[in-house]
Amino acid sequence: MIAVITGDIIGSKGSDPAVWLEALRDQLDHFGSSPKDWEVYRGDEFQLEVDAPDEVLLTAFRIKASIKTFKNLDVRMGIGIGEKDYQGSRVSQSNGSAFVNSGTQFDLLKKQKVNLAISSPDRGFDQDLNMLLKLALVIMDDWSVGSAQLAQTLLENPDQIQEEIARKFEIKQAAVSQRLRRAHLNLIMELEAYFRIKFNKTFKP
């Protein structure tokens, strides 16, 4: 079983790709190599295969935070969980239920008016997680650039302490605490942990 993320950049038409493309590629490159594991195509669309499917939500959150560090940009992602039946030389040429679920879910996002949703072989799993994601998106879609920068830092380095973050951003520790509260990152990380538990109970024997 694998996971696949299919996504695009919201607001890209009004921005210079040089602003966000390197950040997106850096995130995707962390999880594999192009074009076997990930591709960016048609300007602002991308696809990523995630071999450890219980980590796919953390992966999506990292991509989300990275893109939200740029003003007026966001990202829309359809997560598919399932099997891979064919390995192509490019991720866009691979096939299986994970790819079908991801593409189908991505196509539904605009109609559903959400920026992140999951499709898997278990509809009960999808229903539970997608409801929680809708609530989480109320927070994440509203992240400021500063909140997104802090979220990206902690999602990539969860053990980093506030004093280190304060030095990195050249702000006071009290300001770090305030940004953490505004970003509600503790709730986002609780959801990510819940996803892992729910995934393992649902899909692992």
pLDDT of residue 170: 76
Q: Mind listing the pLDDT tens digit for each residue in 41-88?
A: 988 999 999 999 999 999 999 999 999 999 999 999 999 999 999 999
Q: What is the mean pLDDT of residues 155-176?
A: 79
Kindly report the number of other CB atoms within 10 A of residue 58's CB atom. 20
pLDDT of residue 182: 81
Q: Mind listing the pLDDT tens digit for each residue in 120-165?
A: 999 999 999 999 999 999 999 999 998 999 899 889 887 777 778 7
For the record, the structure tokens of 162 come out as 């506030």
User: Is the predicted pLDDT of residue 25 greater than 80, yes or no?
Assistant: yes
- Lowest mean pLDDT across 22-26, 29-33, 79-83, 171-175: 171-175
Compute the distance between CA of residue 124 and CA of residue 5 in angstroms, rounded to an integer.
20
Burial 113-127 (b: 16+ CB within 10 A, else e): ebbbbbbbeeeebbe
* Contact present, 79 and 41 (Cβ < 8 Å): no
Asked whether the whole model's pTM tops 0.85, one would answer yes
User: Is the predicted pLDDT of residue 167 greater than 90, yes or no?
Assistant: no
Mean of per-residue pLDDT scores for the chain: 92
Residue showing tokens 């490019």: 90
166 or 93, greater pLDDT: 93
* Contact present, 143 and 151 (Cβ < 8 Å): yes
170: which residues sit within 8 A by CB, 6+ positions away?
none
Own/partner contacts of 90-96, CB < 8 Å, gap of 24 or more, are: 90/35, 90/36, 90/39, 91/35, 91/36, 91/37, 91/38, 91/39, 91/47, 91/48, 91/49, 92/35, 92/39, 92/41, 92/47, 94/49, 96/2
Provide the pLDDT confidence category of residue 3 given band limits of 50, 70 and 90: very high
